[in-house]
């Protein structure tokens, strides 16, 4: 791995003249040690953890350790089949000239707070905006997908460069920008673009928020941005507010006297994809006090079913949530006339997030939904139990016309 800030961090302790002490009389050596209160050079590292590990309530994909002079961010299993662990040393600008680290022990060494960053998923943008550091974003692949007004304003002003497509980032432009960090995500660990970026001396942190099982676990990744920007307290406060809002909404949902039956997903070619009961979407529907018809399934990822299987189970479902990317009932019918046979279609109880977009068509749910599960949950309660949320205006989910 390669270090930054003009090699402010030395890579090894410089041990000099280790044999010189052998020729010093023991009495003199004793007096020398007693009369010197601190002979430790300023570059020596406090290697013993001074404080406990950052307390995480839900997330399992990362950890943060405080070693007094620096912090260590560990990312664990950031894609579904991964068994890898990545470690990053985070050193404040004040401490950078004073301490020594062995770069072989880390997948990246970063000076905090980060001043120039590239992120590669719209789900990373709320982490910057919630901490008011979106101005540090200098490049993004596929800027048209960004829906946030704040970040869109920076894009329109030219402060954020277009980096092409996510699967083939324009590394020439990225290297020209010279970010201190690229935040990426992995599907299977094979990404030549990220390999080349790291070889050029720019650390890549794999964000595994999307792998987390529960909605609040995904949201807790705001704490990763907090430690990167020396805003740990702010990140903790933001997450605590989101958690409180989510749990309060969950209590409201429990007041419902009826659980509507719910169908989700739609066909892609010959397969109907829908979330399992233990997925983040399944948990949200459960917390909204809805009777999701596949709530007892435990598969990782999506369920893959036939049309017949889904129709037999859900033809009389009260509500249909997230029917793929279809923006209207007409579009659903044109895609597959059999959709009209579902009772939820016939009653118009079909709801989707695809209609809530930014100025260039970016879907807000894909950007903000993971960071704000409290808003998603309240939307679902509004859909399933409108009598409990009369004064609430849905943020993402709208009824298809």
Same-domain pairing of 284 and 340: yes
Same-domain pairing of 192 and 90: yes
Among 243, 271, 288, the domain boundary falls at 243
Q: Does residue 39 surpass a pLDDT of 80?
A: no
Same-domain pairing of 213 and 316: no
Q: Which residue range(s) make up the domain with 230?
A: 62-243
Same-domain pairing of 162 and 186: yes
Structure-token match 């209590």, residue found: 251
**273: in domain:** yes
Q: How far is it, in rounded angstroms, from Cα 178 to Cα 199?
A: 13
**293: in domain:** yes
Same-domain pairing of 176 and 314: no
pLDDT band, residue 166 (cuts 50/70/90) = confident
Would you call 303 helix, strand, or coil by DSSP? strand
Q: What angle do CA 214, 147, 213 make, to 5 degrees?
A: 10
Q: How far is it, in rounded angstroms, from Cα 166 to Cα 2?
A: 24
Q: Does residue 41 surpass a pLDDT of 60?
A: no
Model confidence, pTM: 0.86
Q: pLDDT by residue (tens digit) across 194-239?
A: 999 999 999 999 999 999 999 999 999 999 999 999 999 999 999 9
User: Please, what is the average pLDDT of the chain?
Assistant: 88
**160: in domain:** yes
As a whole-number percent, the residues of the chain with pLDDT over 70 amount to: 87
Same-domain pairing of 222 and 333: no
3-state helix, strand, coil in the chain (%, to 5): 35, 20, 45
**251: in domain:** no
Cβ pair 295, 325 in contact under 8 A: no
Would you call 72 helix, strand, or coil by DSSP? strand
**213: in domain:** yes
**104: in domain:** yes
**Chain-centre distance for alpha carbon 164:** 21
Q: pLDDT by residue (tens digit) across 177-200?
A: 999 999 999 888 788 899 999 999
Mean pLDDT lowest among 6-20, 201-215, 305-319, 375-389:
6-20
Same-domain pairing of 394 and 315: yes
Per the DSSP assignment, residues forming a β-bridge with 64 are: 73
- Phi-psi category of residue 301: left, alpha or beta, with phi > 0 → left and psi -120 to 50 → alpha: left
Per the DSSP assignment, residues forming a β-bridge with 351 are: 321, 399
Among 208, 243, 278, the domain boundary falls at 243
Same-domain pairing of 327 and 204: no
Mean pLDDT lowest among 4-8, 241-245, 253-257, 379-383:
4-8
Q: What angle do CA 345, 347, 353 make, to 5 degrees?
A: 55
Q: How far is it, in rounded angstroms, from Cα 78 to Cα 57?
A: 18
Same-domain pairing of 220 and 263: no
Q: How many structural domains does the chain have?
A: 2
Q: Which residues contact 34 (CB under 8 A, 6 or more apart)?
A: none
Same-domain pairing of 107 and 128: yes
Among 181, 215, 243, the domain boundary falls at 243
Same-domain pairing of 125 and 168: yes
Six-digit token pair at 16? 């000099």
Q: Does residue 78 surpass a pLDDT of 50?
A: yes
Q: Does residue 31 surpass a pLDDT of 70?
A: no
What is the domain-level CATH number for residue 316? 3.40.50.1980
The pLDDT value given to residue 190:
82
Same-domain pairing of 220 and 75: yes
The pLDDT value given to residue 351:
98
The pLDDT value given to residue 159:
97
pLDDT band, residue 170 (cuts 50/70/90) = very high
Q: pLDDT by residue (tens digit) across 288-339?
A: 999 999 999 998 878 999 999 999 999 999 999 999 999 999 999 999 999 9
């Amino acid at each position: 791995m390669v270090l930054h800030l003009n090699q402010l961090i030395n890579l090894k302790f410089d041990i000099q003249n280790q044999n010189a002490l052998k020729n010093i009389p023991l009495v003199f050596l004793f007096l020398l040690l007693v009369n010197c209160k601190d002979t430790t050079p300023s570059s020596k590292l406090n290697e013993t953890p001074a404080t406990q590990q950052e307390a995480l309530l839900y997330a399992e994909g990362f950890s943060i350790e405080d070693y007094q002079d620096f912090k260590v961010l560990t990312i664990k299993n950031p894609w579904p089949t991964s068994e890898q662990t990545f470690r990053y040393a985070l050193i404040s600008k004040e401490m950078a000239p004073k301490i020594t680290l062995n770069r072989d022990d880390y997948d990246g060494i970063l000076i905090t707070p980060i001043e120039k960053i590239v992120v590669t998923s719209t789900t990373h943008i709320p982490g910057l905006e919630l901490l008011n550091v979106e101005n540090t974003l200098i490049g993004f692949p596929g800027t048209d997908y960004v829906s946030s007004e704040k970040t869109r304003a920076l894009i329109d002003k030219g402060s954020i460069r277009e980096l092409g497509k996510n699967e083939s980032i324009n590394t020439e432009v990225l290297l020209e920008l010279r970010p201190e960090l690229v935040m990426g995500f992995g599907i299977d660990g094979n990404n030549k673009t990220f390999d080349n970026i790291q070889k050029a001396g720019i650390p890549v942190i794999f964000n595994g928020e999307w792998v987390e099982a529960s909605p609040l676990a995904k949201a807790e990744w705001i704490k990763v941005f907090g430690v990167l920007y020396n805003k740990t307290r702010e990140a903790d406060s933001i997450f605590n507010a989101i958690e409180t809002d989510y749990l309060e909404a969950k209590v409201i949902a429990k007041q419902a006297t009826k659980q509507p039956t719910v169908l989700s997903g739609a066909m892609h070619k010959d397969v109907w994809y829908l979330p399992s009961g233990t997925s983040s979407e399944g948990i949200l529907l459960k917390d909204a006090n809805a009777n999701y018809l596949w709530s007892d399934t435990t598969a990782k990822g999506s369920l893959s079913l036939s049309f017949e299987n889904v129709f037999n189970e859900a033809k009389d479902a009260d509500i249909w949530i997230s029917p793929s990317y279809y923006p209207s009932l007409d579009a659903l019918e044109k895609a597959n006339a059999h959709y009209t046979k579902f009772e939820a279609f016939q009653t118009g109880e079909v709801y989707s997030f695809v209609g809530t977009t930014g100025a260039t068509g970016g879907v807000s749910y894909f950007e903000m939904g993971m960071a704000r599960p409290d808003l998603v949950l309240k939307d679902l309660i509004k859909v399933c139990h409108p009598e409990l949320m009369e004064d609430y205006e849905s943020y993402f989910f709208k009824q298809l016309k």
